[in-house]
Structure 1
């Protein structure tokens, strides 16, 4: 099989975002570039030069509405990986290209995805630090169980590095034995737990399953959105990107040391 080039991978990802952008604009759904994609848009006008993926985020009501529409509007060229449609073993969704396929020596699960973009739900987090930390521990445990519910071979231990793969293979084996094949039940429990505080008066929102301990910002950050240029396209972002990026990255306009400029290169994509 022929490997997908970096240029081709980015072109596919941009078309996937464009598809979502059109659905969102037509149906009054607010979304934003997220994480490194938002940082790239602000600092570089598009991709971070060494990055190779695109992340989007939506508040839970917008996320649920988008998922419903994507389930209805899937085409032969793209496939939605979302727990109500397909086992994904992840607490977020992926929109994948169907003409490509992933391959990795340590991320065995990547063979289930073509070139893709990640779509993250944004939920409410507790304002109290201790309560928030305990909630994150519960979330992390449930996300481990979700990953470990994958019954296919050693896919539950998929990781970016061999050492991480071996660690997960051993440490998550009890979860795998306990939860293997119970994906739907665990996925529903995960989805319910993530929304535990959504009806509360707490003042913070974020992606609750993030491994960034500080990925939360005041609720009002997700109230207002605006256009942002990303490569040759105009996509959407939260208006107060500074609050979000400062919380995640600190001085986000400063380039990291060269040895920290890494991507997701442990997964390669090939044309089918």
Structure 2
């Protein structure tokens, strides 16, 4: 396989985003470039220079509509619980089919067809009371960890073979205990069913449920009713009008560059053309 340079990975991911943007416009769906992608758009007018990440978020109703549309198309490969068995993430990935990503983790549990991707995150409703949000977040995190830990040997994932082997031995009894209650599909269904407990249409707060235990993972739902377009790599994509509020919440003084030793990607993959 031919390895890909960072600039090639960025271009392929950008092409996927352009494709998603086109479909959303054709179907009157709202999305927002978000997380580090939004930071890159505001601070660099494109990718953060040392990263290749593209994330978008969508309120659950528009997310479900987009996923239904993408599942019927074959331009790219949609990875999510509806299209793949034993899918380990709580969000969807739209993948370039001509590329392959090889994880640096042992027992990583990645889909064998994983390639360069754009992450698509659903935002779900939350209760108003911070104590109830914490309680809900702990419940959802328990289900997430349990479905991850009953998926083959993913409970032993690590960056070194030695650590992975130690985890396989030390954490195996916990996996066996979980499996007595239910397998991966059992815990996955617990997570998916519980994610719809608070309808987004009647919730004042929202977030991607994997992140709501963190203060920067809970947002006013009203943020996602008012959108603007912002420049990213010479194109214009949709994001929330309240982008400054979000970036300040997540990154503080977000226009300030991190120290040189922190200017590196946290991705776990090497990219190749098939």
Both proteins in one fold, TM over 0.5: yes
Residue equivalent to 2:34: 34
Equivalent in 83, 86, 97 of residue 84 of structure 2: 86
Match of 1:131 in 2: 132
> What is the alpha-carbon root mean square deviation over aligned residues?
2.6
Alignment of 1:84-233 (within 5 A): 84-87=82-85, 88-106=87-105, 108-110=108-110, 112=112, 113-151=114-152, 154-159=153-158, 169=168, 170-171=170-171, 174-175=174-175, 178-179=178-179, 182-198=183-199, 201-210=202-211, 213-214=214-215, 215-233=217-235
SS in structure 1 at match of 2:100: strand
Secondary structure of the 1:51 match is coil
Give the Å deviation of 1:176: 6.5
Structure 2 spans left out of the alignment, 5+ residues: none
| Conserved? CA contact 2:200–2:206, under 8 Å | no
Q: Which residue of 2 aligns with 1:51?
A: 51
SS at match of 1:264: coil
The 2-side partners of 1:164 and 1:139 are apart by 27
Give per-residue Cα distances to partners, 1:221-249, cap 9 Å, x unaligned. 01111111110221111111112222212
- 2:241 corresponding residue in structure 1: 239
Shift, 1:126, TM fit: 2.3
Residues paired across the two proteins, number:
268
1:40–1:48 contact (8 Å) kept in structure 2? yes
Q: Report the TM-score when normalising by structure 1.
A: 0.88
Partner of 1:18: 18
Q: Which has the higher mean CA deviation after the structures are superposed, 159-168 or 12-21?
A: 159-168
Q: Residues 52-104 of structure 1: CA distance to partner in whole angstroms, max 9, x if unpaired?
A: 211110000010000000001123xx210010111322111001111111113
C-alpha change, 1:29 and 1:199, in structure 2 (3 Å) is closer
Runs (5+) with no aligned partner, structure 1: none
State the 1:158 CA deviation.
3.5
Q: Which residue of 1 aligns with 2:259?
A: 257
**Deviations 1:182-229 (CA, angstroms, capped at 9, x unpaired):** 444433321221222226854211111127601111110011111111
User: Which stretch shows the higher mean deviation, 113-122 or 95-104?
Assistant: 95-104
Q: What TM-score do the two structures reach when normalised by structure 2?
A: 0.88
Distance in structure 2 (CA, Å) of the matches to 1:168 and 1:231: 42
